[in-house]
C-alpha cells in the first residue's frame, strides 16, 4: 500500500550502498504475528469510542505510540483530493497549547523520533522514544486530536511544501507518474483512482475551510485507534490514556464511503510519454481483499511470483531472459475495499515493452495451466512464516501492523493469517489465478520514454 509522509526518510542510496534498490521490490505487507503475540494484545475502548490496543514488548527499553485515524484518500472527492495528506501536514502546525512547529521539536529534545503518513485508507501518526517518555506522546496526541489550530497563512505555506513533495515524488519521477496513471484508469467509480498526495491543481485549490471541515469530521475519538507497543506496563498506562483522552467528546460517526467499483469486463490499456531512459510496464488486476476467503491463495500466489530471487518473475524476466532490469509484483491485500494485484518490470536496453508485457503475462498463464510443485509451495510458506518472525523484531513494525489490521478489518483478522496461509493448496493457486488474473480484469500501463533533453 503506497503512502506519502511528512518527512522523507533518508535512504542509504545517497551514501552509495550500491544497488540495494535493485533487490526485489516486493510490495507485500505480510502479517507479522504468531498466535502467542496476538494473545498478548490488550484491547479496550473508551466511552468516547477511542479504540486502544496495547502490546507489551520488553526486549528493548523503547516504546512506540501510534494514533491512526480512519480517513485517507478513499474519503476524498474529486476537486479536493490530497486533503487527508495536507491535513496530516497541518497536524504539526500547532494547537492552542503547542506552538507551530513545536510538536517535533518537543519530541526530538526528549530523544524521540516522530513522523506521519497518509494512505488510501488511513492517516497515521507516531512517536518512538525511550520508555520513560510515553506519557508525553499521549499528552501531545490527545491535544492535537481536538485542539488543532488551522491558520490560514500556515495552510498556504504548507500547500507549497506539499506541491514540492508532489514534484519530487511524481511530477519528475516517470515510474511514479506511470503508477498514478494506472491507478486512475484501473478504478473508474471508486476513490482509489485518486492519488494520495492529490492532483496538483487540487492541492493548489485546497482552502482552510476544507481542512477545518475535514478535521472536525474525521479527527474524532470514535474514528481513531491508539496503539502502544514496547516497554511499558499496561495497567499503569491505561489510566494515563484515560486521563489524556477520556475527556474528548465523542462526535457523530463520519460518513461512510459509498462508492463500489463495478466489475471490470475488458482490458484497459494506457501509455504515458515522459522523459525517461528506459520503458516500464505496470499492470494491475482487480482482486478481492483480505476479507474474502480467496485472499490467502492470492497472497501465496504473490510470493510465488515475486517473493525472492528464485520467484518466477525475477527468475524468468531478470535472470534467465534478461528482459528486465528489475521486476516484481505484489498484492494489495490490506485494503478496506478490494484493490489490485500489481506486476511491474523495467525494460532492459535493447528490449521492448511488448516483450516484457508478454513475459509477465506468460508467468500468469503458467500458474493457471501448470500445478505448482510441492517444494515451491513449501518454499513460499516457509518464506511467509519467516517474514512473520523477522517482522516482530521492531516495535514500530508491530504497531504498524496492528494498526493497519484494526483499521481495515479489525485487528483480530491478524490471527487468521498464518493458519489461512498454511491451508493453501496448489489447486487453490490455479483456481484463483484462473478466476481473477484474466486480461478482462486488468489495466496495462506502459511508459514510453521520450528522449531526455539536456
383 is a contact residue toward other proteins (CB under 8 A): yes
Measure the CA–CA gap between 368 and 10, rounded to whole angstroms. 41
Least spacing, CB of residue 208 vs other proteins, in Å: 15
Catalytic-role residue among 43, 56, 57, 88: 88
Report how many residues bind other proteins under the rule CB under 8 A. Answer: 92
Q: What is the greatest pairwise CA distance in the chain?
A: 65
Interior angle at CA 262, CA 258 and CA 263, nearest 5: 150
Residues in Cβ contact with 437 at an 8 Å cutoff, skipping those fewer than 6 apart: 285, 287, 341, 364, 367, 368
Q: Kind and range of the H or E element at 228?
A: strand 224-230
Total Cβ atoms within 10 A of residue 331: 27
Interface segment toward other proteins; rule CB under 8 A; list 309-317, 328-336, 365-373, 415-423: 309-317
Q: How far is the CB of 147 from other proteins (least distance, A)?
A: 11
Measured distance CA(19)–CA(12) in Å, rounded: 10
- Asked if 236 interacts with other proteins (CB under 8 A), we say no
Applying the rule CB under 8 A, the residues between 395 and 434 that interact with other proteins are: 395
Question: Binding string to other proteins for residues 101 to 140, with x set by CB under 8 A, is what?
Answer: xx-xxx-xxxxxx--------------xxxxxx--x--x-
Residue 344 burial by CB count (10 A; 0-12/13-18/19+): exposed, middle or buried? buried
- Listing from the earlier edge strand, what are the strands of the sheet with 268-275? 268-275, 442-450, 280-286, 340-347, 324-329
Site string for other proteins, 310-339 (x = CB under 8 A): xx---x--xx--x--x--------------
Assess 98 for contact with other proteins (CB under 8 A).
Answer: yes
Looking only at residues 11 through 30 of this chain, which bind other proteins when binding is defined by CB under 8 A?
14-20, 22-23
Q: Which of 35, 43, 47, 61 binds other proteins (CB under 8 A)?
A: 61
Q: Out of 42, 257, 308, 413, point to the residue binding other proteins (CB under 8 A).
A: 308
The backbone torsions φ and ψ at residue 229, rounded to the nearest 5 degrees and listed phi first, read -130, 135
Hey, which residues between 252 and 281 contact other proteins (CB under 8 A)?
275-278
Q: Is 176 in the site for other proteins (CB under 8 A)?
A: no
Which residue among 96, 358, 369, 425 contacts other proteins (CB under 8 A)?
Answer: 96
Among 38, 81, 123, 394, binds other proteins (CB under 8 A): 394
Q: Which is nearer to other proteins, 317 or 409 (CB)?
A: 317
Radius of gyration of the chain (CA): 22
Is 88 among the residues known to form the active site? yes
Q: Indicate the residue among 287 and 313 with the shorter CB distance to other proteins.
A: 313
Binding segment for other proteins (CB under 8 A), chosen from 97-105, 187-195, 242-250, 255-263, is 97-105
Sign of the Cα torsion 355, 361, 363, 365 reads: negative
Q: How many helices (H) and strands (E) does the chain have?
A: 16, 12
Residues labelled as active-site residues: 88
Amino acid at each position: 500500500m503506497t503512502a506519502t509522509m511528512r518527512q522523507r526518510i533518508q535512504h542509504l542510496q545517497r551514501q552509495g550502498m550500491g544497488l540495494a534498490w535493485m533487490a526485489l521490490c516486493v510490495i507485500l505487507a505480510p502479517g507479522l504475528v504468531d498466535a502467542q503475540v496476538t494473545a498478548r494484545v490488550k484491547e479496550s475502548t473508551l466511552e468516547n469510542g477511542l479504540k486502544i490496543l496495547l502490546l507489551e514488548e520488553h526486549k528493548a527499553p523503547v516504546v512506540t505510540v501510534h494514533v491512526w485515524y480512519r480517513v485517507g484518500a478513499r474519503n476524498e472527492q474529486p476537486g479536493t483530493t490530497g486533503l487527508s495528506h495536507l491535513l496530516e501536514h497541518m497536524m504539526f502546525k500547532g494547537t492552542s497549547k503547542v506552538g507551530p512547529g513545536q510538536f517535533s521539536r518537543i519530541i526530538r529534545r526528549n530523544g524521540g523520533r516522530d513522523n506521519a503518513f497518509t494512505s488510501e485508507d488511513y492517516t497515521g501518526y507516531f512517536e518512538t522514544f525511550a520508555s520513560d517518555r510515553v506519557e508525553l506522546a499521549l499528552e501531545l496526541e490527545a491535544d492535537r486530536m481536538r485542539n488543532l489550530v488551522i491558520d490560514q497563512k500556515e495552510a498556504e505555506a504548507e500547500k507549497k511544501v506539499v506541491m514540492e513533495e508532489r514534484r519530487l515524488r511524481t511530477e519528475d519521477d516517470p515510474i511514479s507518474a506511470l503508477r498514478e496513471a494506472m491507478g486512475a484508469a484501473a478504478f473508474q467509480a471508486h476513490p482509489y483512482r485518486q492519488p494520495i498526495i492529490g492532483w496538483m491543481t487540487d492541492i493548489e485549490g485546497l482552502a482552510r475551510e476544507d481542512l477545518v471541515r475535514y478535521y472536525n469530521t474525521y479527527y474524532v475519538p470514535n474514528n481513531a485507534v491508539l496503539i502502544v507497543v514496547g516497554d511499558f506496563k499496561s495497567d499503569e498506562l491505561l489510566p494515563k490514556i484515560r486521563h489524556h483522552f477520556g475527556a474528548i467528546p465523542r462526535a457523530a460517526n463520519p460518513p461512510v464511503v459509498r462508492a463500489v467499483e463495478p466489475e471490470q469486463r475488458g482490458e484497459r490499456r494506457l501509455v504515458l510519454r515522459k522523459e525517461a531512459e528506459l520503458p516500464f510496464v505496470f499492470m494491475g488486476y482487480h482482486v478481492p481483499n483480505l476479507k474474502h476467503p480467496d485472499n490467502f491463495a492470492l497472497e501465496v500466489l504473490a510470493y510465488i511470483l515475486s517473493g525472492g530471487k528464485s520467484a518466477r518473475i525475477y527468475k524468468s524476466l531478470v535472470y534467465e531472459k534478461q528482459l528486465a532490469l528489475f521486476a516484481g509484483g505484489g498484492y494489495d491485500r490490506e485494503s478496506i475495499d478490494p484493490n489490485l494485484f500489481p506486476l511491474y518490470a523495467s525494460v532492459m536496453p535493447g528490449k521492448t515493452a511488448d516483450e516484457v508485457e508478454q513475459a509477465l503475462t506468460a508467468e500468469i498463464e503458467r500458474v493457471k495451466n501448470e500445478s505448482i510443485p510441492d517444494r515451491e509451495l513449501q518454499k513460499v510458506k516457509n518464506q511467509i512464516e519467516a517474514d512473520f518472525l523477522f517482522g516482530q523484531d521492531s516495535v514500530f513494525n508491530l504497531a504498524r501492523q496492528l494498526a493497519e489490521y484494526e483499521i481495515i478489518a479489525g485487528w483480530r483478522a491478524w490471527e487468521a493469517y498464518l493458519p489461512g496461509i498454511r491451508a493453501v493448496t496448489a489447486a487453490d493457486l490455479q483456481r484463483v489465478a484462473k478466476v481473477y488474473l484474466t486480461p478482462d480484469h486488468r489495466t496495462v500501463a506502459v511508459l514510453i520514454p521520450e528522449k531526455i533533453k539536456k
